[in-house]
Structure 1
Amino acid sequence: MRQFTAVVNPTAGGSTSAAALLQVARLLREAGAELETEYSRSLAHATELARQAGDRGRVVLAVGGDGMAGGIGGALSGTGAVLGLVPAGRGNDFARMLGLPREPAALAGLLLHGEPRPVDTVEVTSAVHDRTVVLGSVYAGVDALANRHANHARLLRGTASYYAGALRAITTWRRTRYRVTVDGQEHAFGGYTVVAANSGYYGSNRLIAPGARVDDGLLEVVMIHEAPRRLFFALMNELESGTHVRRPQVRVVRGREVRIEADRAIPYGADGEVEAVLPVTARVLPGALRVLY
C-alpha cells in the first residue's frame, strides 16, 4: 500500500484546499494507505517539504492550484519521486490537461492504484532566477500582466478575476516588439504575448496551445501578433475552444528550447506565478517527472 505526504497550500481558493484534501484523505485511509499532511508557509517551503517526502520514498500530493502543482512538480523533477495532484486552486489547468477525475472517489482510486507515468517538465532560466522548473507553461506579455492583476484581485475570485485582469491588461497594453528564438531559429514581430507551452491549458481553462502534449519532449510556442483591439478581444474568446490558432495573427511553432526577449520590460510568468521580466529561456526536460494520472 502506498504512503502519501500531502503538501497543502492553505491559501489556494480560500478553504478549498483543506476541503478537497479531507474528502480524498478519508478514502485513502479507509483503503489502508498511510497519509501525512504538511501545511506550507510559502511556495519555497512547499518545495522543501516535497523534496523531503520524496527522498523518503513517499508519494507527494500537491494540494492547491497550478502554482502549487508547478512548484512541487518542479522540485521533484529528475528525482524519481512520484507526484499526485489534488486540484484545489482557481485554475487547475495542469490537472485538466492530465484529465484527472473531479470526483473524490475516482481521484482516490487513481492515487491508490494508478501507475506513475513520465511527463515532461520545463526548465526556466533568467537573469533574476538562475533556474526553476515548472510543469505547464511560460508566458510573457499581456497574459502575465493579466495574471498579476488577477492574483492581486481582492473582490473577485476564480474565472471572474482572470477576466477582470485580462480586461485591465489589454486596455493598458503598449506596443511591444518581440524576438523569439526557437531551437536557433529567430522570429521577430510586434505582438501581445508569447507562450511556451508544455500543457495546452493556462489562465483558468483557456486552451492556449491545442497541440501541446505533456509527454512528447517538445514545447508548443504560441506567438500572438499585433491586431486591432476589437479583434484581440474576439481572439481571447476563442481561447476557450483553441480555435484562435487558425487566425493569421497567431503563429505556432514547436521546439525544445525557447528564448523570449522584448524591447521593453515585459513581465513573464510560469504556472500561474508571475516571476520577473524578460528575457527568459524555457527548455523542455523530457520525461523528467513521474505523475499519477
Structure 2
Amino acid sequence: MQSDREAREFTAIINPVSGGGHGFEHWQPVSDHLRAAGATVRTIPSRSREHAVETARQAAERGDVVVAVGGDGMARDAADGVVRGGGTLGLVPAGRGNDLAWRLGLPTDPEGLARLLLDGTARRIDVLEVNGVIAPGNVYIGIDSLATQIINAGRWLPALLVYRVAPVRAILGWRAAEYTLDIDGEQLRTRGHTVVVANSGAYGHGLRIVPPAELDDGVAHVMVVGDGPRSQVVSFMREAKRGTHIERPEVTLATARTVTVDADRPIPVCADGDEIASLPARIEVLPGALSLLAP
C-alpha cells in the first residue's frame, strides 16, 4: 500500500440498518475529510451479505481500499471480500457493538478515522474461515448464539440494554448440549453451554469474552463453557467484563489451528453478530490473511 494519500481510492460499503439506520450519518463526515484531501470516494449501500462480499471483492481487486461502514457484521462481510480480492480493509464503526473496532483501538472521531484511512499503515491480522465464510472476530455456538438471534430481533432497542438482556432471555429456554469437538485432531465430547472459537476475543458490546485471544498470533483460542447452573449466567456476564470468568471451574481454554464443532441438536452457528452457518462447523485459522488499516 502506497503512503501518499492521492494514491488511495476508497469504496465504502454501508449497512443501511446499522446503528439504528444511522450508517450514512457516520460515514458522511469521514467521506468529506477524504474528499477534501483529494481522495476518490465511492459509496455503495449493501443489499445483502452476498452483495457486500462481492462488492468488497471487486473493489479490492480494483485496488481500492474497502471501507466497511457498520457494525461487526458489516466488517465481517467486507473482510470476506477483501481477503478473496487481495485488498485492504478500513473500518468506520457505525453499528451497535463495534467490538472489532474497539479491539483494534480505532479512532472514534471522523477526522481521526479519515486520517487513518488516508495515511495509516496496513497491518496483517488473522481471520477464521467457518464453513467457507470469513470472519475476523469470533465464532460462537450455544447460549451466545441464541442471544445473538434475540439481539438481532431487537435491532431498534438501545444497544447496551439488548446486549445485557439477551443472554438472560436466552438462558431461560436453554438446556445444556452435548458437544463433539475436534481440536487439531484431538477429540473431545463434553456437555456444556457454549463453545467459542475466538480470534479477536471481544464481543457482546465490549466484553473480552476470551481474554487470551490476539488478532495476529496465528491460532484460534477455544473456550468451552461446561454444564453449570443456569442461574449463574448473570454473575458470569458480570465477571466477563473483567475477564475473570475464565477462572471458573466450568471454563476450559485451548488453542488450535483447526476446530470442528458439532452437537446433539441443531444450534445456531454465529460469527461477528450474525448466524452464518449450521452444524457441523469446521473453523480454520488463516494466519495474516487480512490486510487492515489500524493503529
Q: Same fold (TM over 0.5)?
A: yes
Query: Which runs of no fewer than 5 residues in structure 1 stay unpaired?
Result: 126-130
The residue aligned with 1:57 is 63
Displacement after TM superposition at 1:134 (Å): 1.2
Is 1:32 matched with 2:38?
yes
User: Of the candidates 99, 104, 108, which is equivalent to residue 102 of structure 1?
Assistant: 108
Aligned residues, how many? 288
Alpha-carbon separation, structure 1, partners of 2:11 and 2:156? 33
Once the two structures are overlaid, the 10-residue window that deviates more, 48-57 or 60-69, is 48-57
The residue aligned with 1:10 is 16
Partner secondary structure for residue 77 of structure 1: helix
Displacement after TM superposition at 1:229 (Å): 2.1
Alpha-carbon separation, structure 2, partners of 1:88 and 1:25? 14
Q: Identical aligned pairs, as a percentage?
A: 45
The residue aligned with 1:148 is 149
User: Of the candidates 51, 72, 88, which is equivalent to residue 45 of structure 1?
Assistant: 51
Once the two structures are overlaid, the 10-residue window that deviates more, 271-280 or 245-254, is 271-280
Mapping of residues 123-162 of structure 1, within 5 Å: 123-125=129-131, 131-153=132-154, 156-162=157-163
Mapping of residues 237-248 of structure 1, within 5 Å: 237-248=238-249
User: Of the candidates 92, 95, 100, which is equivalent to residue 98 of structure 2?
Assistant: 92
Partner letter of residue 240 of structure 2? L
C-alpha distance after superposition, 1:64-113 (max 9, x if no partner): 11111001101211532010000000111111111111121111111111
Alpha-carbon separation, structure 1, partners of 2:290 and 2:68? 14
Partner letter of residue 56 of structure 2? A
Q: Is 1:9–1:40's contact at 8 Å kept on the other side of the alignment?
A: yes
User: Of the candidates 70, 81, 86, which is equivalent to residue 75 of structure 1?
Assistant: 81
Q: 1:154 to 1:285 in 2, by over 3 A?
A: closer
Query: Which runs of no fewer than 5 residues in structure 2 stay unpaired?
Result: 1-5
Is 1:118 matched with 2:124?
yes
The residue aligned with 1:198 is 199
Partner letter of residue 238 of structure 1? E
Partner secondary structure for residue 139 of structure 2: strand
C-alpha distance after superposition, 1:175-206 (max 9, x if no partner): 21112221011222211100000111012211
The residue aligned with 1:225 is 226
The residue aligned with 1:165 is 166
Q: Is 1:124–1:134's contact at 8 Å kept on the other side of the alignment?
A: yes
TM-score, length of structure 2 as denominator length: 0.94
Q: Is 2:70–2:93's contact at 8 Å kept on the other side of the alignment?
A: yes
Alpha-carbon separation, structure 2, partners of 1:193 and 1:175? 8
Alpha-carbon separation, structure 2, partners of 1:277 and 1:57? 34
Partner letter of residue 34 of structure 1? T
Q: Is 1:177–1:262's contact at 8 Å kept on the other side of the alignment?
A: yes
Alpha-carbon separation, structure 1, partners of 2:47 and 2:110? 25
TM-score, length of structure 1 as denominator length: 0.95
Displacement after TM superposition at 1:155 (Å): 5.4
Partner letter of residue 81 of structure 1? G
Q: Is 1:259–1:282's contact at 8 Å kept on the other side of the alignment?
A: yes
Displacement after TM superposition at 1:168 (Å): 1.2
Partner secondary structure for residue 177 of structure 1: strand
Displacement after TM superposition at 1:231 (Å): 2.3
Displacement after TM superposition at 1:56 (Å): 1.0
Partner secondary structure for residue 133 of structure 1: strand
Partner secondary structure for residue 85 of structure 2: coil
Once the two structures are overlaid, the 10-residue window that deviates more, 92-101 or 156-165, is 156-165
Alpha-carbon separation, structure 2, partners of 1:180 and 1:267? 16
Q: 1:148 to 1:173 in 2, by over 3 A?
A: same
Partner secondary structure for residue 13 of structure 1: helix
Alpha-carbon separation, structure 2, partners of 1:164 and 1:215? 32
Is 1:263 matched with 2:264?
yes
Partner secondary structure for residue 18 of structure 2: coil
Partner letter of residue 139 of structure 1? Y
C-alpha distance after superposition, 1:153-186 (max 9, x if no partner): 2652312122222111111111211122210112
**CA RMSD for the aligned pairs?**
1.3
